[in-house]
Amino acid sequence: MDWTEIYDDSGLDEPTLPTFNPSLAITRLVSFAETTTIGYDTRALYIFTINYILGVGCLGMPYGFARCGVVFGSLLVLTVTALAYTTVTYVAETVSRAEKLALLPCEAGSKCWICLKPDCNVTNVNSLNVCVPIKEGESVNSGIGYSPIMNSTRYGSVETGNSTGGSSGKLNKRPRSDTDASIDWKAEKSYEVTELCTKFLGTRYRVLYQGCLLCLMFVGLLAYSQVFCNSIIAIIDTSMYTFVTRPSLSFLFACLVVPLSCADLEEQVTVQAMMMVARFLAIFVMVAGSIYSICFDAVDSESLRTTAPYFAKTVVPESNTEPSMNYVFSFDGFGVMFSTALFSQLFQHSVPGLIRPLPEPQKKKVKRVFATALFTTASLYLLLGAVSAIYFGSSTLSSINLNFTNFTYGIDLSTAPTWKVLLVNCLSNIVVLFPAADTISVFPLIANTLGNNLSTSIPKLPKRIDEFLVWKQGRDEEMVNAYDKKAIKKKRKELAQKLNTILWRLIASIPPILASVFASDLAFSLQLAGLSGLYVAFVCPTLLQRASINSTRRALGEKEIMTVYSGWQSTRMMELGVLGFSAFSFLVVLWQIKASFEMMLISEDIYNGSGKRSI
């Protein structure tokens, strides 16, 4: 969506904020959200980024660590984190270059940037923005309507004469001055990733990206709904409370998250700040509980030791249907661990929406904010995944919070004082219910992004909605003066854009909740998300990076390639490394999804006691 319709240009370079105090972060952010009209700052960006990243994927980390090995799992998390940071900056760089290229005369309002294709340059773009071939020996000025796409005083000039007095028609790229190198670009439009695919890669790549994004985010939203339902069912006796069913819980979840999904990001700062604190608290309880239990509790562990530390025993399964526990390396768990790590560090598709509300002076801090957020989440994943897998071993569930149902923390509740019993029950319920609160904050963010991206698939829909509003409004405009008519027309267009946004966000949020009524396996959902996430997170950003570099080099020159987001990762070798790792991971994950699907069918047959595949 276009944030310029939300934020008015007040002429301020950046919002005025009081001195930051960590203990008052939430209060300051709330105050900031209520007073500023031009966006948010890097602190709010950090909170939103953490909430985008730190979703239900962290609950699958211990299961992945147990399956593939603690050491190998840690290496995969670090590798995926480094690649995620690389491709996140690729998306930000592409957005920055697109905003520059959009200022070129021949690109204004064009659906596909024809001027940026390899066979187009400053000598063959006519006044109709159409690339035409220049015949050998023909002068640039020999035809009517030819005009350079670059400002000659800034980027060079078209030389119309040579030493012999003839016409050469060549571009004279003279060296720039210091002032040329520090051009103040002011973007008039920002882009979603789907639009970038259309501009730089073409319609086919956009369709492929939208298909993968739809699959990824649909499965992700399905996973959030699954975790919410599973968490509530885990602490409620459904035999006593028969009204607590998956359909009823899905309906409750929809009532909570669908309205939030229709709200814009700046309207959610308060909720997101509080949810971030709750998320850190729940993860701290799980990590601290696992560490404490390794040292003092042998009751809930699979350890064969009679003294502390109580490390779980290594379990080598005889078949894919049996649980496993490995401390070093097991390639059989690569698929589930890689998919979980990728899904848990994935927010590339949300980068344009995250950086869009930032004032220009603060965008130079974006790389540091994203790096800090990814480092924060990676550290939490390593802690939670390693210590939980080491303690619970092969009994680690696909959603680790369910392992803490009726967890005692080594305390004999039959002889313990009342306050200890209450404390243990409180901590267990916090951990089990954590995903329920977590999904309420993350689900709207993902649905918001998915709805924004889907809205670009039918760009004429707002116009159709506006036409419907005109028809509904009828002849009321005839009763007002010209000034009021202009104001009414503006308000009507704003309403049409708002209704269009809400419609697509409803389409993004409701179907996954309906699907969660029938599907409940979180681990398999994460694997599916990881498969489609490979293209969204790694392949597409890398292709956009290379295409935007080539287009910028042709149109604006070598010096304009670098952006405020560029760094060590902005090299061709890193691009090739990302693509190579993605190709290898795709084949392995695809193979292991097939094995997981077969295992899921076998487990269902065993559960049904039929010995035959259920239909």
Task: Give the up-direction half-sphere exposure of residue 226: CA atoms within 13 A in the CB hemisphere.
Answer: 26
Task: Give the up-direction half-sphere exposure of residue 328: CA atoms within 13 A in the CB hemisphere.
Answer: 0
Beta bridge partners of 172: 157
Taking CA 404 as the corner, what is the angle to CA 399 and CA 410, rounded to the nearest 5 degrees? 145
Determine the angle formed by the axes of helices 70-101 and 334-344, rounding to 10 degrees: 40
Environment class of 239 (CB within 10 Å of its CB; exposed 0-12, middle 13-18, buried 19+)? exposed
CATH number at residue 575: 1.20.1740
Which two tokens mark 487? 């104001």
- pLDDT digit string (tens) for 206-229? 889 988 888 887 887 888 888 788
State the pLDDT at residue 565.
Answer: 93
Poorest-pLDDT segment among 134-138, 287-291, 537-541: 134-138
Q: Is the pLDDT of residue 78 over 90?
A: yes
Contact 61, 344 (CB under 8 A): yes
Contact 45, 354 (CB under 8 A): yes
State the pLDDT at residue 514.
Answer: 86
User: Tell me, what DSSP letter sits at residue 539?
Assistant: I
- pLDDT digit string (tens) for 522-556? 667 767 777 788 899 999 999 999 999 998 888 88
In a domain, residue 139? The reply is: no
Beta bridge partners of 325: 315
In a domain, residue 156? The reply is: no
Per-residue confidence at 485, pLDDT binned at 50, 70, 90? low
Residue 439 belongs to domain spanning: 3-103+185-608
In a domain, residue 548? The reply is: yes
State the pLDDT at residue 320.
Answer: 55
In a domain, residue 167? The reply is: no
Per-residue confidence at 516, pLDDT binned at 50, 70, 90? confident
In a domain, residue 143? The reply is: no
State the pLDDT at residue 175.
Answer: 38
Q: Name the residue with tokens 């060549």.
A: 170
Share of the chain above pLDDT 70, in %: 69
Task: Give the up-direction half-sphere exposure of residue 599: CA atoms within 13 A in the CB hemisphere.
Answer: 17
State the pLDDT at residue 80.
Answer: 94
Q: Is the pLDDT of residue 57 over 50?
A: yes
Per-residue confidence at 134, pLDDT binned at 50, 70, 90? very low
- The most confident of the ranges 40-49, 67-76, 474-483 is 67-76
- pLDDT digit string (tens) for 311-326? 877 776 665 555 677 8
| Count of structural domains, the chain | 1
State the pLDDT at residue 315.
Answer: 74
Beta bridge partners of 471: none
In a domain, residue 534? The reply is: yes
Q: What is the mean pLDDT of residues 605-612?
A: 47
Q: What is the mean pLDDT of residues 508-529?
A: 76
Q: What is the mean pLDDT of residues 42-46?
A: 88
Return the SS3 of 360: helix
Q: Is the pLDDT of residue 84 over 90?
A: yes
State the pLDDT at residue 600.
Answer: 63
Q: What is the mean pLDDT of residues 298-321?
A: 68
Taking CA 529 as the corner, what is the angle to CA 269 and CA 598, rounded to the nearest 5 degrees? 145
In a domain, residue 579? The reply is: yes
Q: What is the mean pLDDT of residues 441-445?
A: 78
In a domain, residue 175? The reply is: no
Contact 402, 234 (CB under 8 A): yes
Beta bridge partners of 131: 125
Give Cα separations from 514 to 234, 249, 507, 519 (angstroms): 20, 11, 12, 9
- Those residues whose C-beta lies under 8 Å from the C-beta of residue 307, and which sit 6 or more positions away, are none
Torsion angle, alpha carbons of 189, 192, 193, 197, to 10: -60
Q: Is the pLDDT of residue 560 over 80?
A: yes
State the pLDDT at residue 582.
Answer: 92
Contact 523, 227 (CB under 8 A): no
State the pLDDT at residue 141.
Answer: 40
State the pLDDT at residue 137.
Answer: 45
State the pLDDT at residue 236.
Answer: 81
Beta bridge partners of 312: 303
